[in-house]
């Protein structure tokens, strides 16, 4: 049967329900589909979709997060293609919707990540499985205790230096951990900053993410020189992915940040 739903950009989407052939162009959403028991329905993913590691390689890669192979996607004959507003581009959505049903999700907070899981459940007739996953994630996040007032920057890029800013899922997680982000007043969700900005920010902690830029041990001294009073910490960026990685994240923070 046909079903219509409004996606997070306000577009009505009509698709065959429940969809039997699904393409996901967002790693966290691909991971979520597997967690909801939809392994047989997933017919396409991005080359960056790496979870669950033991099963995702069986699904053909038909896109990146910013590029796609239209011919490969159409050949897969999807009932539904799922994108995410930040991970994918508007141009990708506009191109795909000329050919196939496209649902665009949007995740900027922990709460929206949980809502995304439930929405995926609604889209795919897996509501009960989605509610169970959400409940498990909420239990894990309840383990966290906040570090009130600690000032932190989460660095995602080099040349130029870029940090996490306002209206992002990562910022919401950091806030829940009790960290204060001094760069929220800067323009943009991932603002560029200078060595002088790091020095003036009076940071307690600088997180160097493993992705999208692969910060490593060799970069620690560089940031210690910019912010001598800060504790510079390498962090697994995948622990800041939404979806099933949220089950692992709280224990990761507890182990590595002493939460």
In a domain, 232, yes or no: yes
In a shared domain, residues 69 and 179: no
Quote the CA–CA distance of 220 and 230 in Å, as a whole number: 11
In a shared domain, residues 104 and 159: no
Instruction: Kindly report the length of the chain.
Output: 259
Spatial contact of 114 and 137, defined as CB atoms under 8 Å apart = yes
Classified as helix, coil or strand, 229 is coil
In a shared domain, residues 91 and 7: yes
In a shared domain, residues 61 and 13: yes
Spatial contact of 163 and 185, defined as CB atoms under 8 Å apart = no
In a shared domain, residues 76 and 173: no
pLDDT tens series, the chain, 259 aa: 999 999 999 999 999 999 999 999 999 999 999 999 999 999 999 999 999 999 999 999 999 999 999 999 999 999 999 999 999 999 999 999 999 999 999 999 999 999 999 999 999 999 999 999 999 999 999 988 776 678 999 999 999 999 999 999 999 999 988 899 999 999 999 999 999 999 999 999 999 999 999 999 999 999 999 999 899 999 999 999 999 999 999 999 988 876 5
Query: What pLDDT shows up at residue 147?
Result: 67
Instruction: Give the structural domain span for 193.
Output: 150-257
In a shared domain, residues 167 and 87: no
Q: How many CA atoms lie within 13 A of 65 on its CB side?
A: 14
Quote the CA–CA distance of 259 and 252 in Å, as a whole number: 9
Query: What pLDDT shows up at residue 258?
Result: 64
Phi and psi, residue 38, nearest 5°:
-105, 25
In a shared domain, residues 125 and 24: yes
Quote the CA–CA distance of 165 and 199 in Å, as a whole number: 17
Rg (CA), the chain: 19
Q: Which of 66, 105, 85 is nearest to 212 (CA)?
A: 66
Query: What pLDDT shows up at residue 259?
Result: 55
pTM of the model as a whole: 0.92
In a shared domain, residues 121 and 14: yes
* Cis previous bond, 52, omega within 30: yes
Q: Which of 177, 172, 190 is nearest to 149 (CA)?
A: 177
In a shared domain, residues 232 and 178: yes
């Amino acid at each position: 049967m046909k079903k219509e739903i409004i996606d997070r950009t306000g577009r009505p989407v009509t698709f065959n329900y429940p969809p039997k052939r699904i393409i996901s162009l967002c790693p966290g959403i691909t991971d979520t589909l597997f967690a909801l028991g939809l392994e047989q329905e997933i017919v396409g993913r991005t080359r960056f979709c790496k979870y669950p590691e033991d099963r995702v390689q069986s699904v053909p890669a038909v896109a990146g997060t910013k590029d796609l192979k239209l011919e490969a996607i159409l050949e897969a004959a999807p009932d539904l293609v799922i994108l995410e507003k930040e991970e994918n581009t508007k141009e990708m959505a506009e191109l795909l919707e000329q050919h196939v049903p496209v649902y665009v999700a949007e995740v900027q907070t922990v709460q929206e990540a949980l809502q995304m899981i439930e929405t995926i459940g609604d889209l795919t007739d897996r509501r009960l499985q989605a509610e169970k996953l959400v409940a498990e994630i909420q239990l894990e996040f309840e383990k966290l205790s906040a570090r009130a007032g600690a000032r932190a920057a989460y660095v995602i890029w080099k040349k130029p230096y870029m940090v996490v800013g306002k209206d992002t899922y990562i910022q919401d997680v950091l806030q829940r951990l009790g960290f204060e982000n001094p760069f929220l007043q800067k323009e943009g969700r991932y603002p560029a900053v200078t060595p002088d900005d790091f020095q003036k920010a009076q940071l307690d902690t600088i997180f160097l993410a493993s992705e999208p830029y692969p910060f490593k041990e060799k970069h620690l001294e560089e940031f210690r020189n910019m912010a001598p009073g800060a504790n510079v910490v390498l962090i697994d960026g995948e622990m800041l992915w939404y979806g099933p990685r949220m089950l692992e994240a709280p224990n990761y923070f507890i182990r590595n940040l002493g939460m």
